[in-house]
Structure formats: structure tokens, C-alpha cells
A and B are shown apart, each in its own frame.
Chain A
Amino acid sequence: MIYLDSAATSFLKPPCVAQAVVDAMHTVGSPGRGAHPLTLAASRTVWACREAVAELLGAYDPARVCFTPNSTVALNTAICGLYGPGDHVITTALEHNSVLRPLYRLEEQGMELTILPADETGNIDYEDFARALRPNTRGVVCTHASNVTGNTLDLGRIGAFCGAHNLTFVVDASQSAGVLEVNQQAVGASVVCFTGHKGLLGPQGTGGLSVAPDVTLRPLVVGGSGVHSYDRRHPQDLPEGLEAGTLNACGLAGLLAGITYIRDQGRENLYRQEMKLAQAFVNGVRSLPGVTLYGDVDAPNRTAVVSLNLGEEDAGEVADVLAQEFGICTRAGAHCAPLIHEALGTSARGAVRFSFSHLNTPQEVAQAVDAVADLAGRI
């Protein structure tokens, strides 16, 4: 089997990640719940993971790195914790439903929303941010990298715009954390949301958000915190303020191992490796008859995501044949990002997404190119 679906989850992981999860299951108790050796071991693991995330993402403070089960919960926490009726928020057509749906729900409650359009290559016009400004504009929520095209947004430019207009800035780093440089302080992001199981190479069920010191979020969930048990209200101080309930300490041990691996190998090195594979794939398929590639496939600073269609074939059918006949795992459909498909003109049939990991091999890429060529020859 050839796994080319790393934008969905990093199935290919260094062995240290699974080992760390298994080890933690034998060595840690409940994090932040008491002071016996096993709970302390759990608490230390979780804290080490906060420090590792903070270092990798240029966060302000490890104590303001709060863990959630995934990026969707982190984004809901940030978006619903910051905005409400009467506010105006700007986002883009590149977004995943984990950004769009919380915004749509707030819109139904009286929040105003502007979605900046993308062109047919999946890029936005940065001048649109200024054009979208209103007196009640409170913030910008945007992805760092599209999960469909691999195109990236210039966080530094958007962060500067937010800073100039006193707006909060929420970044969805689901597709970029561990892959591209994400530096919360440098771009002035109020909140950076991340998932653990993609570029950070950790297990599913891990993710979180890093919150800037001047930002206060209403928590989505309240309950057990391990501290202030006689207080009727959930504690406000971070990280516990956004972490009701027992954390996934074993998963976070795996996430810590993933981030440590990235640090030891060098994030830039891993990124270069996977981009080399993605570019080889692009170069192999771009001139095949009937192949349509989407996005800015030759742009610098993109991610190793390549979406395509074959003639007028159903993307789901292409992905199914790739899996059944060639053992190649891809992702077809709308990728939970409907607006970018509208921009690309692929709403009706979606696209087939190939997403690469540094742990893929050139041979696997060559096989994928051969498979696409085979299918292109059938249409």
C-alpha cells in the first residue's frame, strides 16, 4: 500500500511516536490530578509537550498552550470564545469547515461575516482585507495552508493588517504546524490552533491552541480542572481554563515524541524532503493528457498537497480505482472545504488529493505517477 493521504492524517510516523504512547500507558496516571508519582509523571509529560509546542510555534508562553482533542475543538474555542452578535469577522474562501461552520453558526446569532474570495488558482487578493473593514470589525480568522490546494496565506502580512487595525487574529495551522514555519509572536497571532496528528506526527485525539497573553477566551466546556474544586465557576487561568476534563496524556506523550523527532531531524529538512516528492509528482503528471492540477503548484512556501482531476471522471471513482487496483491511498471529494472547490470550479465532482510525507519514497511517487498515467490513458 502506498499512503498519499498525509493531509488527512500522518499515517506514516516515526516509530518513536507509537512507542511513546505505549510507554505512557504503562507509566502515567491522570495529569494535573494529585501528587502521587504516576500523576506527576503524567503532569510532567503534558508540561514537556506544552514546552515543545510553544518552542515549535513561537508561542508566547507554554502555560498558554492549551490542549484539545483536535483542531476543530481548538478553532471552535477560539472563534466562539472571541466573537459574538454585533461583531464583524473576516475570513477567506480557503477555509475548512472547522473554521466556516462555527462562523456560520455565529452569523445566525447576529455576527457579521465577510468571506474573501479566492481566484481560480486558489489565491486571495490581500487588498480585500482593507476593503472588507467595517467599524465593528473585530478579527480575522484564516488558515495558514489550504488543505485542498496546498497554497499558503501570508500570515505576516495578515498579522500586520490586524495589528494596524486592532483586530484579533486567529490562525488555523492544521495543515502547516510541523511543516512550515509558524511563529505566533512574529506574526502577532492572537490564537494559533493546531492539530497533533498531521504535520506534528502525533496521534489522533491531540491538538490545541496557543493563546496570546492579551487574549481572553470564553471556554466552550467547563468542568473538572484539578484545582479550585469548591468554586462554582471553572478557573479562568490558562491552561486549565480551556482544558476541562482529563487530558489525553498518553496521546500527548506521542505528540511530544513527534515534535521531538521534528526538532531533531530539522523541520526545514523534512519539509524540503516532502516538497521534493510532491514536486516530482507534479512534474510527472502535469503534462499527462486529461490531467487538471489545481492550485499554485509551482509557488514557493506551499505544502506537499496536490489535487487533480482526470478528464470528466468522478473524483471518487478515480480514488477508488487508485485504491483497488494500485493500492494507492488518496482522498477524493470536497475535503470539508466547500468554498475553495467553488473557486476552483470543482464543486460538482470534487478533486483527488495526493498529499505527501517525508516518509514517502521516490519509488512510491513514481508508482503514483505511473498509476495516474495509466488512468489518463483510459479516458
Chain B
Amino acid sequence: MLRKPQLRLVITFHTTAEALRTEQLARAAGLEGRLIPVPRQLSAGCGLAWSGAPETEKTLRLTLEGAGIQAEQMAQLTI
């Protein structure tokens, strides 16, 4: 284990642009989190995912819906 696993809200996207817009929206809303490489539990491919605090799921879901961003996957994972 490289670091202590934590329960995180992980969101993957269809495009990098959506990942960056999510970062922008989360920062504007003051939500904790950052962009990370997509964990392999969700996808074997490349790309960016949003890793946020689990308690922000509802807020982020509404924020993304309001911005017209459709997440590819949204899951609470221990990573």
C-alpha cells in the first residue's frame, strides 16, 4: 500500500474538458477535491477523474446537473 486508503467520491468523465469544468465548478463552490488519474477500479484507460470528499456527492451531483455535465461514473471508492 503506497499511502493510507481513504474513502473518496470519484467521478470519471467522457472528456477531459468535462473534468476541467468540474474542477472549476467545485473550486467556485469551495468544495474540497482535486483531479487525479482515473483509478483502475473504474477504468483501464487513461484520463482524469475528480476525487472529492464523500459528503460533497449530493452537492456535486446537483452542480454537474446544473452545468449540463454528464459524469461517466460517480462512485464512492476507497483509494
Which A residues have a C-beta under 8 Å from some C-beta of B? 310, 313-321, 325, 332-336, 347-350, 375, 378-379
A379 B1 Cβ-Cβ under 8 A: yes
B2 A375 Cβ-Cβ under 8 A: yes
Can you name 10 extra interface pairs (CB under 8 A) apart from A317-B79, A318-B2? A317-B37, A325-B3, A333-B38, A334-B45, A334-B46, A336-B46, A347-B44, A350-B46, A378-B2, A379-B1
Residues from chain A with a CB closer than 8 A to the CB of B39 are: 314, 316-317
What is the interface residue range for chain B against chain A? 10 to 19
A378 B45 Cβ-Cβ under 8 A: no
**CB of B58 within 8 Å of the partner chain:** no
A349 B1 Cβ-Cβ under 8 A: no
A-B contact pairs, 26 of them (CB 8 A): A313-B2, A315-B37, A315-B40, A316-B36, A316-B38, A316-B40, A317-B37, A318-B2, A320-B36, A325-B3, A332-B37, A333-B37, A333-B38, A333-B45, A333-B46, A333-B47, A334-B44, A334-B45, A334-B46, A335-B46, A348-B40, A349-B44, A350-B40, A375-B2, A378-B1, A379-B2
Residues from chain B with a CB closer than 8 A to the CB of A310 are: 2
Contact of A350 among B36, B44, B79 (CB under 8 A): B44
Residues from chain A with a CB closer than 8 A to the CB of B79 are: 317
A321 B36 Cβ-Cβ under 8 A: no
B2 A349 Cβ-Cβ under 8 A: no
Residues from chain A with a CB closer than 8 A to the CB of B3 are: 321, 325, 378
A332 to B36 Cα, complex, angstroms: 11
Residues from chain A with a CB closer than 8 A to the CB of B46 are: 332-336, 350
A318 to B79 Cα, complex, angstroms: 12
Q: What's the least CB distance linking A343 to chain B, in Å?
A: 15
Residues from chain B with a CB closer than 8 A to the CB of A316 are: 36-40
A350 to B44 Cα, complex, angstroms: 7
Residues from chain A with a CB closer than 8 A to the CB of B2 are: 310, 313, 317-318, 321, 375, 378-379
A310 to B1 Cα, complex, angstroms: 10
Which B residues have a C-beta under 8 Å from some C-beta of A? 1-3, 36-40, 44-47, 79
Contact of A348 among B36, B37, B44 (CB under 8 A): B44
A336 to B36 Cα, complex, angstroms: 18
Q: What's the least CB distance linking A67 to chain B, in Å?
A: 26
Minimum-distance CB pairs A-B, first 8: A316-B37, A333-B46, A314-B40, A321-B2, A349-B40, A378-B2, A332-B37, A348-B44
Chain B CB within 10 Å — which of A310, A333, A334 has the most? Answer: A333
Q: What's the least CB distance linking A370 to chain B, in Å?
A: 15
Chain B CB within 10 Å — which of A316, A334, A350, A379 has the most? Answer: A316
Closest to B1 in A: A378
Closest to A322 in B: B2
Q: What's the least CB distance linking A45 to chain B, in Å?
A: 32
A375 to B2 Cα, complex, angstroms: 6
Residues from chain B with a CB closer than 8 A to the CB of A347 are: 44
A348 to B2 Cα, complex, angstroms: 19
Closest to A375 in B: B2
B37 A320 Cβ-Cβ under 8 A: yes
A34 to B25 Cα, complex, angstroms: 46
Residues from chain A with a CB closer than 8 A to the CB of B1 are: 378-379
Closest to A347 in B: B44
Residues from chain A with a CB closer than 8 A to the CB of B45 are: 333-334
